[in-house]
Amino acid sequence: MNKITLEISDQLMNQLQNQTDSVQNILLKALEEYLAKEQLGFLKTKTWELCGSLEIPNPEPEFTTKLQDSKLSTNYAEHIDEVLY
């Protein structure tokens, strides 16, 4: 294990001391959660937020595919050159 030195405000330290878990365990858990979330950083992009949130009301049949659960899905992205040019 490695040791680190961390400065914590008195107010925050008082709140930490009132916890049943040790400060070290709390900080380790927080670091683990942070690193787990950061590994999925691509999920925080605006593009990822928009994926699946937009719906095309009347998709063209040639760009429509049927999913296993009987829902219709468009594949405009696969034919983007045809659509743009």
Task: Please report which confidence band the pLDDT of residue 81 belongs to, taking 50, 70 and 90 as the band edges.
Answer: low
pLDDT over 70 at 67, yes or no:
no
- Length in residues, the chain: 85
Q: Which helix (H) or strand (E) holds 21?
A: none
User: Which residues are within 8 A (CB) of 25 and not within 5 positions of it... i.e. 6 or more apart?
Assistant: none
pLDDT in tens, 20-51: 998 889 989 999 988 877 766 666 677 767 77
Question: What does the pLDDT read at residue 28?
Answer: 92
| Helices and strands: H and E segment counts in the chain | 4, 2
Q: How far is CA 68 from the centre of its chain?
A: 26
Question: What does the pLDDT read at residue 10?
Answer: 92
- pTM of this structure: 0.43
